[in-house]
Amino acid sequence: MDKHTILVVDDNRTNLQIIREVLEAEYTLMLAISGEMALKFLTKKKPDLILLDLMMPGMSGKETFFRIRETPENQSIPVIFLTANQDEDVEVECLNMGASDFITKPIVPEILKRRIGKTIELEDLHKRLQEKVEEKTLEVEVLALQAIGAIVHTIEAKDDVTQGHSVRVAHYSRAIARALGYDEQLVARVYQTALLHDVGKIGIPDSILKKKGRLTPDEYNQIREHTTIGANILSAISTISYLEDGARYHHERFDGLGYPKGLHGEEIPVIGRLIAVADVYDALVSRRHYKAPMNEASARAELLAGSGTQFDPRMVKIFIGLLDDGTIAKVKEEATIQLKTEIMNADAAAEA
């Protein structure tokens, strides 16, 4: 393992020399004779620990400490103060400020070594624990997403007309997110969110979802509920907080005439405005219980006609670009292949 690095700050050169002799075999040292010099060092390299003299002319140890803590990346570096006076009040004050420990001068080599060793050991343990927690959180997220993905497939499998809608909308939404220049982490979130946008349909009776004729106003109101039901389901997955907005806002309209909240323009979270375009496009070009599929040119014209009223014009512009350069056709093909594979896997699992 690499040596840990310690930044030592003391205006007294003799002290610096002593500390160096005690620690240099075990640690990489950065020696600073003032607070200003220490701050300059910190802009270049992050040490694993800071040993900071409390009494210094110019910038005091206390001031140096607070200046160090102003930078977010420096907030977790443990600091041990070197105090000359054996004054309990000063020592308590150091700990209250957030110091890890204090060591009184004159320096006793063995005490210096042990205190530093303990602090670094604790810090390493803390870091490893934090990494483990992050790793486990990610595992839980993946599990939750897989579980919900399975629910989506179950809902869609009940109805061969809408089968694949969510997966296609997720693929289209991901293409829009990439065209918006989102980083890959955000792109992945958009995909997951879009995949689950209609999960609330689980709470709507089949007799309404599959109705061939015109819906009554009451039935239409029930269908609208799928946005809120979906958001409530997804809000239960507290580790992935971003999912619920897609379900809640994908039926809002740019002109404020949508549901469930009737939000207007940019009040609608961007994920809702994004999924809305992908969702409607797929609905238009797909067969539904109540209609035949529309051809691509007519669907393109429909989206343009709704730009600024039903849809965010920016999202329409991007989507039309993706239609025209063949991206949508390509990702639709990918979605179809993915669906076939998933259905085959599910059948194989059912037989086993």
Stretch that binds Fe ion, among 3-11, 118-126, 194-202, 296-304 (CB under 5 A): 194-202
Using CB atoms within 10 A of its CB, is residue 275 exposed (0-12), middle (13-18) or buried (19+)? buried
CA distance 288 to 46: 60
Using CB atoms within 10 A of its CB, is residue 74 exposed (0-12), middle (13-18) or buried (19+)? middle
Asked if residues 156 and 342 have their Cβ atoms less than 8 Å apart, the reply is: no
- Among 123, 103, 105, CA closest to 113: 103
Stretch that binds Fe ion, among 55-63, 144-152, 192-200, 236-244 (CB under 5 A): 192-200
Nearest distance, CB of residue 129 and Fe ion, angstroms: 42
Give whichever of 198 and 312 is closer to Fe ion, judged by the CB atom. 198
The single residue among 10, 48, 156, 198 that binds Fe ion, judged by CB under 5 A, is: 198
Nearest distance, CB of residue 152 and Fe ion, angstroms: 12
Nearest distance, CB of residue 322 and Fe ion, angstroms: 21
What is the size of the binding site for Fe ion (CB under 5 A)?
Answer: 1
CA distance 189 to 240: 9
Nearest distance, CB of residue 243 and Fe ion, angstroms: 14
Q: Which residues of 282-321 are buried (b: 16+ CB within 10 A; e: fewer)?
A: bbbbbeeeeeeebeeeebbeebeebbeebbbebbbbbbbe
Give whichever of 68 and 196 is closer to Fe ion, judged by the CB atom. 196
Nearest distance, CB of residue 249 and Fe ion, angstroms: 10
Give whichever of 105 and 171 is closer to Fe ion, judged by the CB atom. 171
Ramachandran angles phi, psi of 79, nearest 5°: -120, 130
Query: Is 282 a binder of Fe ion (CB under 5 A)?
Result: no
Q: What sign has the CA pseudo-torsion 288, 321, 269, 152?
A: positive
Site string for Fe ion, 51-90 (x = CB under 5 A): ----------------------------------------
Nearest distance, CB of residue 230 and Fe ion, angstroms: 8
List contacts with Fe ion (CB under 5 A): 198
